[in-house]
Chains A and B, each alone.
Chain A
Amino acid sequence: MISDGVEDEEKWLAAGIAGLQQNAFYVHRALDSNNLKDALKYSAQMLSELRTSRLSPHKYYALYMRAFDEMRKLETFFWEETRRGCSIIDLYELVQHAGNILPRLYLLCTVGSVYIKSKEAPAKDILKDLVEMCRGIQHPLRGLFLRSYLSQVSRDKLPDIGSEYEGDADTVIDAVEFVLQNFTEMNKLWVRMQYQGPAREKEKREKERGELRDLVGKNLHVLSQIEGVDLGMYKDTVLPRVLEQVVNCRDALAQYYLMDCVIQVFPDEYHLQTLDILLGAFPQLQPSVDIKTVLSSLMERLSNYAASSAEVLPEFLQVDAFSKLNSAIGKVIEAHVDMPVAGVVTLYSSLLTFSLHVHPDRLDYADQVLGSCVKKLSGVEKVEDSQSTKQIVALLSAPLDKYNNVMTALKLTNYSHVMEYLDYGTNKVMAAIIIRNIMKNNTYIYTGDKVEALLELIAGLIKDADGDCENEVDEEDFKEEQNSVARLIHMLHNEDPKEMFKIITTVRKHILAGGLKRLPYTVPPLVFSSLKLVRRLQNQDENGAGEEAAATPKKIFQLLNQIIESLSNVPAPELALRLYLQCAEAANDCDIEPVAYEFFTQAYILYEEEITDSRAQVTAVHLIIGTLQRMHVFGVENRDTLTHKATGYSAKLLKKPDQCRAVYACSHLFWADDPAVMRDGERVLLCLKRALKIANAAQHMANVTRGSSGSVTLFIELLNKYLYFFEKGNPQITVATIHDLIELITTEMQSDGATPDPAADSFLASTMRYIQFQKQKGGSVSEKYEPVKV
C-alpha cells in the first residue's frame, strides 16, 4: 500500500501534467486567435489541475512550475490585450467569473499584475485586494503555492521608493504591509500543514513541510529587498510584525527556520540596532526550537560584522551589544529549563566568540561569560555526553585562538572552573589543546603562580584520574600526551632565578603527584630545566652570590636528588642513572664535590641494585666511565674510590667483548685531559693490558665454542687505544708495545681458524693508513711515529 503510494503519485503527476498540457494547447490556440473568452476558459481548466490533493509538495511543485510558465504567457497576452484597448478593469472582473476558486485566483493575480503595470489604479489597492482575496485558499499546500505565485508576480511591482509604482505618499508602507500580510498568511498555512492528515504520517509531513519552507522564507527576502525599508521602518514595523507572527505561530519548525531567516536576510547593522527586539523574541519561542543554533548564528554574524571593519565597533559599544546578548542568553536558558547542557554551552561559546571579536580588550566580559557558564554547569555533575564536551572544548579554545597566549586565558578566573566540569578524557583533550597552543605561539609562562594555575588546568595530563582506574589508554597516545607535557615543561621559564626556582618547585610538586607512570616522561625535562638554572647561577655566582639565598645550586641539587629519587619507585633505573650522572656533571661544574659524589654514589647504587640487564649494564658502565672521566672536582680519595668501582664494574660484565671494551674505556679514567687532575700512565697501561688479556680470552673462548677464532676487531680497537695514548705522550706506551700488538693482529688474521672479516680488514687498513698519515704529517707527531713500523 505504502510502496504503491509513490508509484501512484507518479501516475497522478503524469496525469496532471497531461491535463495541463492539453489545456495549455487550447489556451495557445485561443491566444493565437486573440480569443479572450476561450483563453480564459481554457486557462481556468488548465489551472484546475492544480486543485489536486494527491501530490506531495515536491511533485506539486513540478506541476506548479509548468503552470507558472503558461501563466507568464497569459500575462503577456493580457498585457497586449490592454494595449489593444481592452479595459483592464473589465478584464479584472471577467477573470473573477470563474467558478472554481483556485483557477480564479491564479487568473486574478495574473491580471492584477497587468493591472498594476497599466497604472490605472494605485498598486497598493490592487495588491491589497489580491492578498485579501487569496484568503479563499485555506488548503495549506495550494495556498502556499498560490501566495508564492502572488509574491512572484508582484515582487517587481511593489510601490517601493524609486519604483515606478511608487504612489503619492507613504507607499513603501503599503508595499511592506502587502508583503507582511502575505508572509503572515503563508506562515499560517505552513504551520497548519502539520495538523492535517493522519498522525502516523506526521514525520513524513514534517519532511514535506521542510521542503516548503523556502516559499515562506522568500517573503522575508522580498522584504529585505525593498529599498524603502530603512532602519526606522525595520525597527518599528517589519521586525515586530515578523516576530509577532513567528512567536504566535507556536511551531518549532517554523520558528527555527524563520528566526534564522530573519538573521540571515537582513543586514547586520539592523540587527545590531534592534538587538533588544530580536532577542526579546527568543525566550518566547517553543521549547523544542533549536535556539542555540539560531542565536549562535546571530552572534557569529555580528562577530563577523565586527571583524569586517573597525569603524563599526563603536556601534557595538553604543548599543551595548554584549550585555544585551548576555542577558538574552540568560533568559533563554531560564525559559528552557530542560535545555541540554550542550545547548547551553554552545550559546556561551558563541557569546564568548562574539565578545572576543567585539571587545578584545574586555577580558572581564570573557570571564563573565565563563562565569555564567560555570553557574549553569554547577547543576550537573560531570559533563559526559560527547556533544556537550565538544562544545565546552570549543568554548575553552576560543580565547586561546583569539589571543594566542595562554597567559591571557589564565587571567580568566573562571576558565579553570569550567574545565573542572569536563570529564577526565575531555580534560586531557583540552589540556592537549592548551599545550599545542603554547607550543605554537612559543608562549613562555614565567611566574610561579601562572605555572601553578596552568598545571591545575591541565591536570588531566599531569595526574591520573581520581579514584577509578581509567581503562587502559592506548600506550601510543599516552606517550604522545606525556611528550607534550615534557615539551610544556620547557616552556615554563623565567630569566630570574628566584622565580624560576619557584616554578621548578611548583612543577615538581605537580609531577610528583602525577603518578608513577608519568614520571619517566616528566622528570627528565624538569631535571634539565633545573640544570639549566644551575648553569645560569653558576655563571652569575661570580658577580653577586650572596643575595641569591632563595635559589642556590645546592638547594637545587637537593631538589634534584629528591626528584630523581622518585623515579626509583617507577622503576626506571636506567633513566635515573643517566639523570644522576647529568647532575653529577653539573655539580662538578659548580665545584661542589660532596654533591657530585653523592650523585655518583646514587648512580652506583642504582647500577648495583637495579640494573640487571646485561645490555643495560654495558650502556650504564660506559655512561659512568664517560662522566667520571670528565669530573675534576674529586679529591684523590674520592676519585680513587669511584674509579676503582667503575673498573670493577667493567671487569664484571657478562660478555667478554663487552668486558674488554669497558676495561679499555676505563683506561681513560687515569688519563684526564687536564694533567693536574690525573695522569697515571702506568695504570692506563694496566687497563689496556688487562683488556688485551680479556680480548685474548674472548678469542680463545670463541675458538673453543665455535671452532673458529673470533674477530680481531677487539684487537684492532685496542690498537687504536694504544695509538691514542701513544700520541698523547703516555710514557708507558712504547713503540715496541705497538709493534707487538700489530704483529699479534697480523698473526691472528693469518691463522688457520681465522674467519675472513672484511669489516675488520678494512678497520685495520684504515688504522694503518692513519699511522702512515701521522708519519708524514711532519712536526712532533711524525717524529713520534717515526719508529713505528708498519
Chain B
Amino acid sequence: MNYLLGAFKPACHISIVFADEKNRKKVPIKKENGQTFMVPLFQSQENIAGKISVEPVQGKKIEHNGIKVELLGQIEMYFDRGNFYDFTSLVRELDVPGELYETKTYPFEFSTVEMPYETYNGVNVRLRYVLRVTINRGYAGSIVEYQDFMVHNYSPPPSINNSIKMEVGIEDCLHIEFEYNKSKYHLKDVIIGKIYFLLVRIKIKNMDLEIRRRESTGSGANTHVETETLAKFELMDGAPVRGESIPIRLFLSPYELTPTHRNINNKFSVKYYLNLVLVDEEDRRYFKQHEITIYRLTESPSE
C-alpha cells in the first residue's frame, strides 16, 4: 500500500482506509510485478466509503490546489500499453486549495456505485477498479495515491440450464455421444457427464477433458485472441470398446476460473470451453469443443 514511499521521498503520506475494512472480505490480487496483495472485495451497487488521511512529512507544509478522490473502472489492453479506458469515473472533491501543516483526515463516500463488470486479470487485458487520490500542486507536480479493490458480481442459479448432449464422430471410425449435465456452471461447480462409445475403430490411448479459456480483445481487424488450457483432466485410460460408457466428474474448484465475460464494454470477451480430446496410439488427437458458461454463484452466508 505504501510502496510508493520507497520510490522517492514524497512530501506527504496518503493512506486510504475503507469504512468496513475490518469486516470486509479480502481477496488476493496480482500486481504487474507479480506480487500478490490482499484487497477488499466489493460488488456492484455497494457503497464505497472510508477515510483518506494526508500526513505531511514531519515539519513540512504542503501547498495544494485542491484534493480529490476518484473511483475509476479501467480497462487496460496490454498491447496498447498505457491506454486506459475508463468506463466508470466518479469524483469527490475533498479539499479546497490551501496548505496542510499536519495530518488531515477526509471522509469520502460513493454510494450505490454501479460497477457492472468484474475485476479481471487476463493475458492481454485487465479490468480493474481503483480509488485515486490526487493532491494537485501547481509547481511540484501532483501527489497521487492509488488503492485497488476488487469487484465480484454474483448471479443466482440460472433458471434455464440445459444439459449439453452431442453426438459426434468420424464416419466408420469413431462415433461417440457425450453429455454434460449442464451448460452453465458456477465456479465451484462439478461437471458430471458421460461419454458413450457407439463405434470405436481406432485404437484410443486415452481421453482427456480440457477446460479452455478464450480471451478475445479488441474488435474488428485488431482482434487478439488468446486461448489457454486451464485444466487437463484425464477421463479415460486405455481403449474402450463399443458400448462402453465412461463417467465424467470434474470438480471446477481447483482451477482458477472466472465467470464468462461477454463483450465487456466492447473491449474484450472471456469465454470458456470444454474440450473433449481423444488421443490414439499414433498420438493423433480427435477433439470436440463446446462452450460452457461460467458464473459466480451468490455465495451462501457461511462463506
Contact = CB atoms under 8 A, between A and B. Distances in A.
Given A93-B251, A133-B249, A99 B233 contact: yes
A142 B239 contact: no
Contact of A135 (B231, B233, B239, B247): B247
A101 interface: yes
B234 A138 contact: no
Contacts of B244: 135, 138
Contacts of A93: 251
B232 A133 contact: no
Nearest to B254: A97
Nearest to B235: A136
B180 to A, nearest CB: 16
A208 to B, nearest CB: 16
Contacts of B254: 97
A93 B233 CA distance: 14
A196 B200 CA distance: 14
B240 interface: yes
Contacts of A104: 234
B300 to A, nearest CB: 16
Contact of A136 (B231, B232, B236, B239): B236
A97 B254 CA distance: 7
Nearest to B241: A192
Interface string B127-149: 00000000000000000000000
A136 B237 contact: yes
A93 B254 CA distance: 11
Contacts of A102: 234, 237
A104 B239 CA distance: 18
A99 B238 contact: no
Contacts of A51: 237
A237 interface: no
Interface in B194-248: 206, 231-241, 244-247
Contact of B235 (A101, A142, A192, A196): A101
A133 B247 contact: yes
B239 A139 contact: yes
Contacts of A236: none
Nearest to A143: B238
A99 B241 CA distance: 23
Nearest to B236: A136
The B interface, classified by DSSP as helix, strand, loop or mixed, is strand
B233 to A, nearest CB: 6
Nearest to A51: B237
Contacts of B246: 135-136, 138
Contacts of B251: 93, 96-97
A99 B234 contact: yes
Contacts of B239: 138-139, 196
A132 interface: yes
A371 interface: no
A131 to B, nearest CB: 11
A136 B241 contact: no
A139 B246 CA distance: 13
B62 to A, nearest CB: 50
A99 B247 contact: no
Contacts of A138: 236-241, 244, 246
B247 A136 contact: yes
Contacts of B233: 99
Interface string A193-210: 000100000000000000
A140 B234 CA distance: 17
B92 to A, nearest CB: 45
A442 interface: no
Interface string B55-83: 00000000000000000000000000000
Interface in A23-67: 51
A135 B234 contact: no
B238 A140 contact: yes
Contacts of A750: none
Contact of A100 (B234, B240, B253): B234
A326 to B, nearest CB: 38
A575 interface: no
A510 B35 CA distance: 114
16 contacts: A93-B251, A97-B251, A97-B253, A99-B231, A101-B234, A101-B235, A102-B234, A133-B249, A135-B246, A136-B236, A137-B238, A138-B236, A138-B241, A139-B239, A142-B237, A142-B238
> Which 9 pairs between the two chains have the least Cβ-Cβ distance?
A139-B238, A138-B238, A101-B234, A138-B240, A97-B254, A137-B237, A100-B234, A136-B236, A139-B237
Interface of A: 51, 93, 96-97, 99-102, 104, 132-133, 135-140, 142-143, 188, 192, 196
Given A97-B251, A99-B232, A101-B237, 4 more contacts: A96-B249, A136-B235, A142-B237, A143-B238
